[in-house]
């Protein structure tokens, strides 16, 4: 990771095409999400089982971490290429190659091939509205009211990101990093205000969780972190302040946990303020992953660059896509057949097994299917118009 450490004046993520530690951050996010979504723990627990239940209970925060990381990476990439003459076409083409092939392949398998083969899968019976929302990346708007197709409820978060991708490139293209900070601040305040208004109007809890404007604070705070790194004075200050950043991130996480019943997803405090402060803590954490650090902080962050975590990070998109279909259509039927009465110990083992199975399927998908599309991204390289200013300067 430590090219930034070798050159503290460099802008992490801009000076190098890939920051290894961010793969570790992505891995942590998916390792939080999957046990949460496949949680079948019920009944009385002994003291040794409480930590597992707490881990699964809080795992939804991995989605918030994904949003922050996505905002950070996408915005950094857009800021570094906004003078390219193919800025929009390259961005949308490269995003399409990463997201759409696997996503639509899974939908085709579920809604086209499975019915043709008369496979007894739940999604083959999804109603037309549920299917239309999935095909058009609108399930985050419909799911709070119409429900989700079995095995695909998690796709609401991909819908949020796709809607973000449609709007954000224009915002970045028209703003310098400093001006973009104001846009990010407005988006964050707007998300808070929107959730407060919807809560006052007694909208469903799921609407406050899934509607795109309600989650823009996480994406915007990740984007703000990327913008700060590209303002030379701010970047220099951040490099000098890593201990304070770490203390602020930990303090904020503890405060949010205490104020939201240990990160309860639909707790009123979570939905009004918790989502925002959790996103801010994660944005600070992402900054720590890319800034040069020393001493105990560097040692604490070093595992983010370990090969196993980086490998999980590489396959994390496939793990996210596959884990819930595997759980609904394979894991649960098998589990109930083998164990009609699921014990807490069996539920914990099951969550671990589903995480491993998701990794295995995602690895196969990446190496045999997704990689062929990702290779096409080289044909969509950004073409920077000369003369271009050095990264980190402002117009």
User: pLDDT tens-digit profile of 282-326?
Assistant: 999 999 999 999 999 999 999 999 999 999 999 999 999 999 999
Domain residue spans in the chain? 3-380
For the cut 70, the answer to whether the pLDDT of residue 5 exceeds it is: no
* Structure-token pair, residue 160: 């949020």
What pLDDT, on a 0 to 100 scale, did the predictor assign at position 11?
56
Measured distance CA(382)–CA(72) in Å, rounded: 19
- For tokens 């549920």, the residue is 130
pTM of the model: 0.92
* Torsional class of 129: left (φ above 0), alpha (ψ -120 to 50), beta (otherwise): alpha
All residues at 6 or more sequence positions from 324 whose CB lies less than 8 Å from its CB, including other chains: 37, 38, 151, 152, 153, 154
Name the more confident of 392 and 121: 121
Q: Identify the pLDDT of residue 385.
A: 62
């Amino acid at each position: 990771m430590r090219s930034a450490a070798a050159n503290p004046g460099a802008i992490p993520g801009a000076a190098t095409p890939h920051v290894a530690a961010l793969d570790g951050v992505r891995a942590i996010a998916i390792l939080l999400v999957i046990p949460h979504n496949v949680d079948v723990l019920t009944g009385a627990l002994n003291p040794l089982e409480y930590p597992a239940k707490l881990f699964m209970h809080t795992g939804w925060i991995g989605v918030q971490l994904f949003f922050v990381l996505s905002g950070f990476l996408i915005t950094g990439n857009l800021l570094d290429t906004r003078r390219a003459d193919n800025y929009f076409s390259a961005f949308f083409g490269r995003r399409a190659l990463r997201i759409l092939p696997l996503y639509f392949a899974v939908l085709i398998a579920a809604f086209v091939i499975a019915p043709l083969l008369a496979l007894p899968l739940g999604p083959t019976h999804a109603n037309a509205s549920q299917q239309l929302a999935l095909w058009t990346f609108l399930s985050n708007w419909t799911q709070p009211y119409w429900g989700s197709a079995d095995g695909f409820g998690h796709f609401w978060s991909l819908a949020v990101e796709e809607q973000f991708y449609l709007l954000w490139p224009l915002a970045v293209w028209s703003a310098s990093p400093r001006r973009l900070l104001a846009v990010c601040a407005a988006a964050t305040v707007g998300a808070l205000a929107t959730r407060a208004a919807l809560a006052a109007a007694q909208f469903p809890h799921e609407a406050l969780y899934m509607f795109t404007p309600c989650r823009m604070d996480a994406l915007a705070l990740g984007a703000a972190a990327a913008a700060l790194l590209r303002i030379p004075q701010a970047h220099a200050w951040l490099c000098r302040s890593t201990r304070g950043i770490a203390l602020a991130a930990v303090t904020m996480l503890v405060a949010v946990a205490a104020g939201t019943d240990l990160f309860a997803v639909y707790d009123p405090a979570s939905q009004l303020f918790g989502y925002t402060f959790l996103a801010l803590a994660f944005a600070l954490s992402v900054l720590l992953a890319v800034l040069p650090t020393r001493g105990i902080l560097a040692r604490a962050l070093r595992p983010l660059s370990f090969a196993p975590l980086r490998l999980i990070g590489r396959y994390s998109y496939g793990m996210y896509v596959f884990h819930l279909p595997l759980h609904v259509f394979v894991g649960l039927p098998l589990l109930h057949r083998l164990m009609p009465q699921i014990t807490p110990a069996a539920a914990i083992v099951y969550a671990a097994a589903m995480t491993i199975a998701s990794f295995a399927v995602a690895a196969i998908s990446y190496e045999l299917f997704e990689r062929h599309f990702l290779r096409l991204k080289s044909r969509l390289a950004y073409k920077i118009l000369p003369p271009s200013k050095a990264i980190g300067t402002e117009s």
